[in-house]
């Protein structure tokens, strides 16, 4: 399960301004993912990203590896990594492109990517939530921040029960 991008007129593309890995580099994300026994594999510019659900510049996942390019949005990298983080370790090796159909795991993934954004220099949760909104994540309360602050109790509980927050 993945958030659906919002249809917008062609002249408006707020997703074009989302933060990309080229802006923060690969060192900090690599170190962050390593804390969860994940690897970050850098894909060459112009090459297809293995395991990408959305294609184009979106991050991909295969087993314990997150694949990304310089033009991959930071929110995409974190989202796909968090899919692997919330999974039980024994399920990770079987993952290829799509980690789950569970709404509970999807919500936990969205929550955790916001929390982990604070651990990436120059990113932070406020910027990540803005980028999530620009890309088209949709929540009942209208914005990522409103969901995170007012409607994400079950996601937080899921993560707390697993020692992830």
Residue-level pLDDT at 1: 43
The token pair at 120 is 């990436």
Closest C-alpha to 135, from 113, 103, 108, 115:
113
Model confidence over 10-51: pLDDT tens digits? Answer: 444 555 789 999 999 999 999 999 999 999 999 999 999 999
Residue-level pLDDT at 15: 58
Residue-level pLDDT at 138: 83
Helix (H) or strand (E) holding 34: helix 27-34
Residue-level pLDDT at 14: 53
Residue-level pLDDT at 13: 54
Residue-level pLDDT at 8: 38
Residue-level pLDDT at 121: 96
Residue-level pLDDT at 6: 44
DSSP output for 78-104: HHHHHHHHHS-GGGGGG-BS-----HH
Neighbours of 24 (CB within 10 A): 16
| Domain spans in the chain, listed from the N-terminal domain onward | 18-161
The answer on pLDDT for 4 being more than 60 is no
Model confidence over 64-114: pLDDT tens digits? Answer: 999 999 999 999 999 999 999 999 999 999 999 998 889 999 999 999 999
Model confidence over 118-142: pLDDT tens digits? Answer: 999 999 999 999 999 999 888 888 8
């Amino acid at each position: 399960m993945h958030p659906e991008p919002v249809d917008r007129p062609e002249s408006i593309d707020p997703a074009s301004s989302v933060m990309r890995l080229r802006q923060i580099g690969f060192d900090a994300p690599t170190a962050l993912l390593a804390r969860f026994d994940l690897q970050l594999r850098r894909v060459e510019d112009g090459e297809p990203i293995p395991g990408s659900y959305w294609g184009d510049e979106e991050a991909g996942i295969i087993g314990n590896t997150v694949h990304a390019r310089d033009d991959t949005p930071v929110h995409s990298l974190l989202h796909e990594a968090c899919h692997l983080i919330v999974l039980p370790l024994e399920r990770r090796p079987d993952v290829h492109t799509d980690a789950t159909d569970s709404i509970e795991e999807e919500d936990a993934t969205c929550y955790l990517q916001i929390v982990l954004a604070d651990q990436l220099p120059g990113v932070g949760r406020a910027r990540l939530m803005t980028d999530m909104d620009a890309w088209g994540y949709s929540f009942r309360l209208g914005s990522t921040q409103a969901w995170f602050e007012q409607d994400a109790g079950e996601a937080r509980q899921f993560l707390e029960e697993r020692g992830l927050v």
